[in-house]
Amino acid sequence: MNVESLKVNKQSWDEVAHRFYGRNPLPEYGPLAPREDELNLFGDVTDLKILDIGCGSGHSLQYMSKRNAGELWGIDLSKKQIDAAKLVLDNCNSPVSLFESPMEENPGIPEDYFDSVYSIYALGWTTDLDKTLANVNNYLKKGGMFIFSWEHPLHSRVSNKDDVLAVTKSYHEEGPYNHEAWDHPAIMQQYRISTYMNSLINNGFKIEKMIEDVCLTDEDVHRHANRWYSFEKAKAIPTTIIIKSQKL
C-alpha cells in the first residue's frame, strides 16, 4: 500500500467530490458503456447484503435500495464523498453502514458476510490490487459475486486528435500514473486486462463474464463531443471493462 499516493488522492477527492456528485452511478457502469438494465449482472438483489467499494456519493447504493437490497454498506477514501453518501442514503429503507477508509484496508467490515460486492469506476484507484481483491474475497460469502467496472486499459493508451487514433503509450506498461484528464493531482493505476483477470483468479475468484462493449446513441454524439470519453474514440476503442466474478 502506497501511503503517499493515498494521501494525495484523498486530498484531491475531498477537493473535487462535488464535481462527481451522482456521476455515472448504477445502473450505469461507465461512460458510453452498457447499463445494468441491459446486462442484468446482479439479478434480483432483494434482501441481499451489498457492499460498494469506492461508494462515492452513494447513488449506486441508493439504486440498490430502490431494488430492495437488504443491507447497504460502503467504503470510500474521501470524507467529502462519505458525507455526501450519508445525506443521499438518509431516507433509505435498508440499513446503511459507511466507512471512510482506503479500500486496501478493512476498517471493520464483516467477513464471509456479503452476497454481493461491487465497484463502479473505482478499482483503478487502488494502490495494491492484490490486497484490495483479497479484502473483497474475505468480505464475500462463498459463492458471492464481485462485479466491477473501470476505464478500459487501452483507452488511455490511445489518443484521438483530429479524428486520427494513435498509440501514445505502451499497453504493456503498468503501474501508477497521473491521469491527464484530471486538473488535480491524481495517482491512478494502469493494469492490463490479463493482470485484472489473473489477480482475481489468484485471490480466489472464478471469472464469469467480461464485457467491453460500447453503447452509442444519437444523444451521445453531442453529449460526449470533445470529452475524455468521446463518441468518436469510443467507436474504435472501448471506454470501459466490466468483469463479473464469483468467490470460490
Tell me the percentage of the chain whose pLDDT exceeds 70.
Answer: 96
Give the Cα separation of 95 and 74 in Å (integer): 11
Residue 184 confidence (pLDDT): 75
Q: How confident is the model at residue 17 (pLDDT cuts 50, 70, 90)?
A: confident
Residue 181 confidence (pLDDT): 67
Residue 209 confidence (pLDDT): 97
Give the Cα separation of 46 and 214 in Å (integer): 29
**Predicted confidence (pLDDT) per residue in 107-157, tens digit:** 999 999 999 999 999 999 999 999 999 999 999 999 999 999 999 999 989
Domains of the chain in start order, with CATH, are 3-247 (3.40.50.150)
Give the Cα separation of 180 and 219 in Å (integer): 26
Give the Cα separation of 169 and 190 in Å (integer): 11
For residue 48, is pLDDT > 70? yes
Q: Computed over its alpha carbons, how large is the radius of gyration of the chain?
A: 17
pTM: 0.94
For residue 70, is pLDDT > 80? yes
Residue 221 confidence (pLDDT): 64
Lowest-confidence region among 12-21, 71-80, 184-193, 204-213: 12-21
**Predicted confidence (pLDDT) per residue in 212-238, tens digit:** 999 888 777 666 666 788 888 888 999
pLDDT: which is higher, 243 or 9 = 243
Mean pLDDT of 203-217: 95
